[in-house]
Structure 1
Amino acid sequence: MNISVILAHPYAQSFNAAIAAVVVKTLNEFDHAVRFHDLYREHFDPVIPEDELVGDQSRDPLVRLHQEEIRTADGIVIIHPNWWGQPPAVLKGWVDRVLRENVAYAFPVGDSGGGLPIGLLRAKRALVFNTSNTAAARENDVFGDPLQRLWRDCIFGFCGVTDVDRFMFRIVADSSADERDAWLKETADQTRRSFPAP
């Protein structure tokens, strides 16, 4: 299977990077074709230019590479921290620039964009791994878990990815080495379950 793995965290030694490394290692053990992208290390430009917005075509070769890979992905894994109930800006920009009309979704003939989209992504399975320093009760009771709605409904559901699992590791700032090891084991286990050997 072709699996796209997208990491969005500015620190090369972050726990998010450790999660990504485990995901990639686990997928490689199962002989999947892994397309790994660390958006910060690649210097992915999240700002969508005016001509790209109105024309749906990018002149940026990195954006075009990401679009081609996401079109042909059989599975997708996203790794990022929870910042203000949202992904980092570079990942929001990745969504804006890569998951474009006629790449990730389309509208029926005659629909100018006000109706229900048709998801175009081949991948029907996605995993999202998040880290947070917000307690689960506060996240759910006060904020309503915005990342769950964002990834499951607003992004993947819109693009035709119907099987979405999301895992939140918390509270990272106060976590012990043993807790982090357990989270990395859970990451490997969930990756194996989601994308078993062919």
Structure 2
Amino acid sequence: MKVSVILGHPYEKSFNHAIANVVMEALLTSGHEVHFHDLHKEGFDPLLRGEELVADRSEDPLVRTHWAEIREADGIIIVHPNWWGQPPAILKGWLDRVLREGVAYMFPDDDDGSGLPIGLLKAKAAIVLNTSNTPEERENNVFGDPLERIWKDCVFDFCGVTTFHRRMFRTIAGSSSEEREEWLDEVRDIVNDTFPQLS
């Protein structure tokens, strides 16, 4: 299977990077073809400019690479921290520029864009792995877990991805090395359960 892995965190010694490394190791060990993008390291430009918006095409070769890979991906894994209940700006920009109409979704010819979209992504499964310093009770009771709604309903369901799994690791600040090792073992299990060993 072809799996696209997208990492949105600026600090290369972060726990998000450790998660991404385990994701990659698990996928490659199971024989999958992986397209990995550390958005910060590759210098992804998150700004969707007016001419790109109205033209539905891009002169940015990196964006075109992402388009080609996400169209062909059988699975997608996103890794990012919870910042203000949202993905970091660089990852929001990736959504704006990569999951475009004609790439990730479309509307019927007689629809002005206000109806129900038709998902175009061929990926059957998506995983989102998050980190947070907000306790779970406060996240759910005060904020309503906005990342679940963003990724499950506003992104992947919209684009036709039917199997979705999200896991928030918390709280990162003050966590022990033993807790982090257990979390990384869980990451490995999630990836292997969703994208099992190829025969």
The normalised TM-score by structure 2 is 0.99
Instruction: Please give the root-mean-square deviation of Cα atoms over the aligned residues, in Å.
Output: 0.5
In the alignment, the residues of structure 2 paired with residue 148 and residue 162 of structure 1 have an alpha-carbon distance, to the nearest angstrom, of: 15
In the alignment, the residues of structure 2 paired with residue 117 and residue 197 of structure 1 have an alpha-carbon distance, to the nearest angstrom, of: 33
In the alignment, the residues of structure 2 paired with residue 59 and residue 140 of structure 1 have an alpha-carbon distance, to the nearest angstrom, of: 41
The normalised TM-score by structure 1 is 0.99
Which residue does 1:35 correspond to in 2? 35
Which residue does 2:51 correspond to in 1? 51
Q: Once the 2 structures are TM-superposed, how far is the Cα of residue 25 of structure 1 from its aligned partner?
A: 0.3
Matched residue pairs, number? 198
Which amino acid in 2 is paired with 1:27?
A: L
Superimposed CA distance per residue, residues 130-175 of structure 1 (whole angstroms, 9 cap, x where no aligned partner): 0000000000000000000000000001000111100000000110
Runs of 4+ off more than 2 Å = none
Please state if 1:157 is matched with 2:129.
Answer: no
In the alignment, the residues of structure 2 paired with residue 162 and residue 86 of structure 1 have an alpha-carbon distance, to the nearest angstrom, of: 22
In the alignment, the residues of structure 1 paired with residue 163 and residue 148 of structure 2 have an alpha-carbon distance, to the nearest angstrom, of: 13
User: What secondary structure is seen at the aligned counterpart in 2 of 1:94?
Assistant: helix
Which amino acid in 2 is paired with 1:148?
A: E
In the alignment, the residues of structure 2 paired with residue 113 and residue 59 of structure 1 have an alpha-carbon distance, to the nearest angstrom, of: 25
Please state if 1:173 is matched with 2:183.
Answer: no
User: What secondary structure is seen at the aligned counterpart in 2 of 1:71?
Assistant: helix
Q: Once the 2 structures are TM-superposed, how far is the Cα of residue 119 of structure 1 from its aligned partner?
A: 0.1
Q: Once the 2 structures are TM-superposed, how far is the Cα of residue 49 of structure 1 from its aligned partner?
A: 1.1
Q: Structure 2 unaligned runs (5+)? A: none
Q: Structure 1 unaligned runs (5+)? A: none
User: What secondary structure is seen at the aligned counterpart in 2 of 1:59?
Assistant: coil
Which amino acid in 2 is paired with 1:103?
A: V
